[in-house]
């Protein structure tokens, strides 16, 4: 779903700067491998978010002393994440109501 990957990236970056591989590993781990994203597809998304100004990047050394590009959430990105999450929650709520109307 368009925007889902964006949200997951932004959410991952909430815990601090991370490089592309790290983000991919985090998404896999937190979804307990349910969401099988092709790792490559992270990059177009990362670069799009970067262009929108929601994340920024810098080159730093990784935990294994290799040069890596670390992404970090910007203030704008934080606002965006809040908006995305509330939109997401509304949608999940709506879907839940449709799926289980009896509980209401």
Partner 1 sequence: MKFFDWASRRARSDRELEEEMRFHLNAETRLREDRGEPPEVARRNARRDFGNYVAVEEATRDMWGWNWLERAVQDVRLALRMLRKNPTFTALALAALALGIGGTTAMFSIVDSVLLKPLPFPHPSRLAMIWELPPHSSHHNVVQTQNFLDWRARNRSFEDVAAMFQFPFNLDESGEPVQLPGLRVTAGFFQILGTRPLLGRTIELQDDVPDTPWVAVLSYELWQRSFGGRRNIIGEKIAGPGNPFEVIGVMPPGFGVPAVPRVDVYIPMRIRPAEAVQDGRNYKVIARLRPGVSLAAAQQDMESISAQTADERPDIDALWSATVVPLMEQTVGDTRTILLVLLGAVFFVLLIACANVSNLLLMRASARRHEISVRIALGAGRWRLLHQLLTESLLLAGAGGSLGFLLAWVGVPALLHILPANFPLPRIAEIRVDGGVLVFSMLLSCACALIFGAFPALQLDRARVGEGLRQGGRPGSATNRRVHGTLVVTEVAMAMLLVVGAGLMLRSFMLLDAVNPGFRPERLLTFRMVLVPSDWKTFDELLAQRATLVAQMLKRIRTLPQVTSASSISFLPLSGSQSGSGYYRADRPAPRPGMLSGGDVSVVSDGYFRTMGIPILAGREFTEYDRAAPEVAILNETAARKNFPGENPVGKRMRVDWTGPAEVEIVGVAADTHHGSMDTAPDPCLFLPQSQRPAGWASLVVRIADDRGVIEAVKQQMHAVAPHQGIEEVQTMDSVLNDSLARPHLDAVIFAVFGGIALILACVGIYAVVSYSVAQRTREMGIRLALGATPTSILRHVLREGLVLCGGGIIIGLAAAAALTRYLASLLYAISPMDPLVCMGVTLLLGACGLAGCYFPARHATRVDPAAVLHEQ
Residues that bind partner 1 (CB under 8 A): 19-22, 24-25, 38-41, 43-44, 46-48, 51, 59, 62, 64, 66-69
Nearest distance, CB of residue 40 and partner 1, angstroms: 4
d(CA 60, CA 88): 33
d(CA 46, CA 52): 10
Shorter beta-carbon distance to partner 1: residue 20 or 77: 20
Dihedral pair phi/psi, residue 71, rounded to 5°: -105, 150
d(CA 81, CA 28): 19
Shorter beta-carbon distance to partner 1: residue 61 or 82: 61
Shorter beta-carbon distance to partner 1: residue 60 or 96: 60
Nearest distance, CB of residue 43 and partner 1, angstroms: 5
d(CA 67, CA 7): 26
């Amino acid at each position: 779903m368009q925007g889902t990957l964006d949200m997951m990236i932004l959410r991952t970056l909430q815990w601090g700067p991370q490089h592309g591989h790290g983000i991919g590993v985090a998404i896999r781990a937190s979804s307990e491998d349910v969401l099988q994203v092709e790792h490559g597809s992270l990059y177009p998304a990362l670069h799009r978010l970067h262009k929108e100004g929601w994340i920024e990047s810098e080159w730093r050394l990784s935990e294994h002393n290799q040069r890596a590009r670390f992404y970090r959430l910007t203030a704008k990105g934080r606002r965006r994440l809040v908006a995305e999450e509330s939109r997401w929650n509304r949608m999940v709520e709506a879907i839940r109501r449709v799926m289980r109307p009896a509980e209401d």
